[in-house]
Amino acid sequence: MSKLKLASYWAAACGGCDVAILDINEKIIDLANVADIVFWPLAVDFKYADVEAYADGYIDVCLFHGAIRNSEGEHIAKLLRQKSKVLVAFGSCAIAGGIPGLANFKRRDDILDRVYIQSDSTQNPERVFPVTRYQVLEGELELPEFYKEVKCLADVVDVDYFMPGCPPTATQVWAVIQVIASGNLPPKGAFVGCSNKTMCDECEREKTEKKVKKFYRPHEIMVDPKKCLLEQGLTCMGPVTRAGCGNQCTSANLPCRGCYGPVDGVIDQGAKYISALASVVDADTPEEADRIISEIVDPAGTFYRYGLPGSLLRRAK
Amino acid sequence: MRRYRLMKKVLEQLGVEDERVRLEWISSAEGTKFAKVMAEFTEQVRQLGPFKQDQKAAAGGEG
Amino acid sequence: MKRITIDPITRLEGHGRIEIFLDDSGAVENCYFQIPELRGFEKFCEGRPAEEVPQIVSRICGV
Ligand code: SF4
Ligand code: SF4
């Protein structure tokens, strides 16, 4: 069998997904034995022009990280879709917007104003903002258009597989690469490199009865390292989050923030968590319920930490 | 009830007006009440107009 | 005037493009470095609880 042609690209991402691929460590040599890298801005020097020159379907597998934030992201997503047989939405940003998706809580113009006018390190009395076309003496320069809202990869192109995580863990990355190399591909649309159980199912903390009289912020409480965090009053999103990360946050005494997204069949992770969280509120009167609920800080920003663009509302009004 | 309260809090942060969401308990025997509440609520939402994202400020600093 | 475009610049975190303009003798006349990416952490961290910010801003750069 000829070697796989592999591409990896980032749109609005942090590069953590690319590093997750490198985190397979010495197995990268094994990867090089089964695959040729044909595009990977983090690691090798291929240009967009090289990708454009490839025949359609030339790339066997493209791992696409990052959300679609601007017209360049959308353009490259379409280009890579055309050139790739299999396109994987790799990581929370590509699947549901991820951390960059928090921008959908804000308006486009307010973001630009904060960055180019108000930021402490900026002096911009002429109020210069990036423009898509700019005439300089020597010719015309172009910049992509900054979209009104962050989109998910599947909003702009057809996606074959989804690999969740912020970032996906190296063990999962390696497992998925092996599956790809073996050619035994799962059915289209599948979530790979994860399980379909919830975080709670795989969590080893002691669980008794989930009844919460008071929600805490981490600095207000000494966390018991053995007991369920939610039962201790921390807003752990384990009940509505897909397992697969190896319980990374909870084993460090941090509540899960839901980066692996919801399990199959759940459309809106945040809405599901509203339901789950409300059901543990242990109140005898409506007033008490109000008090307990009011202790939850930034509920929308927490429940939609990694997935606002992929949620039902997609963005704040 | 608790779900509703928490959901309202989240929707507020997402910029969905309070008047767009309403919870009422109506039994199957209360036809007139049902009709009244529905008419009232429909009118209320009609007054608000279509749910347009990106028109109003997105919950500003609180978002 | 000849134009050389380096797009994208590689082996670093983020997005960048370099436009180089050469004069008739082939010497560099001018050169522009462009960053076609913005995510807006400055803005969307506003409203998030302080204790959550370390986990959010660690996604500025994961390299
Ligand atoms: S809520 Fe969090 S801490 Fe509790 S069992 Fe689930 S994952 Fe573990
Ligand atoms: S515990 Fe939750 S937030 Fe943390 S890595 Fe796992 S899925 Fe992501």
DSSP B16-47: --GGG-------TT-HHHHHHHHHHHHHHHHH
pTM above 0.90, yes or no: yes
Residues lining ligand 1, judged by CB closer than 6 Å? A 199-200, 203, 205, 207, 228-230, 236, 238-239, 250, 256
User: What is the rounded average pLDDT of the residues A228-247?
Assistant: 96
DSSP A83-100: HEEEEEEESHHHHH-TGG
Query: B43 to each of A6, A167, A317, B52, how far by Cα in Å?
Result: 56, 47, 21, 17
For the stretch C12-63, pLDDT in tens is 888 999 999 999 999 999 999 999 999 999 999 999 999 999 999 999 999 8
pLDDT at position B62, please? Answer: 41
| A280: phi then psi, degrees, rounded to nearest 5 | -95, -5
For the stretch B4-19, pLDDT in tens is 999 999 999 999 988 9
CA of C5 to the centre of ligand 2 (A): 40
Q: Hey, what domains does chain A have and what are their CATH numbers? A: 4-99+149-182 (3.40.50.700), 108-147 (no CATH), 199-303 (no CATH)
User: What is the rounded average pLDDT of the residues A217-242?
Assistant: 95
For the stretch A140-169, pLDDT in tens is 999 999 999 999 999 999 999 999 999 999
The answer to whether C47 contacts chain B (CB < 8 Å) is yes
Q: Which residues of B touch A281 (CB under 8 A)?
A: 2, 6
Inter-residue contact A87 to A159 (CB < 8 Å): yes
What is the side-by-side order of every strand in the sheet holding C2-6?
C2-6, C17-22, C28-34
Enter the tokens of residue B54: 């990106």
Measure A12 CA to nearest chain B CA, in Å: 21
Domain ranges of chain B: 2-59
Length of chain C: 63
Q: Do B2 and A281 touch (CB under 8 A)?
A: yes
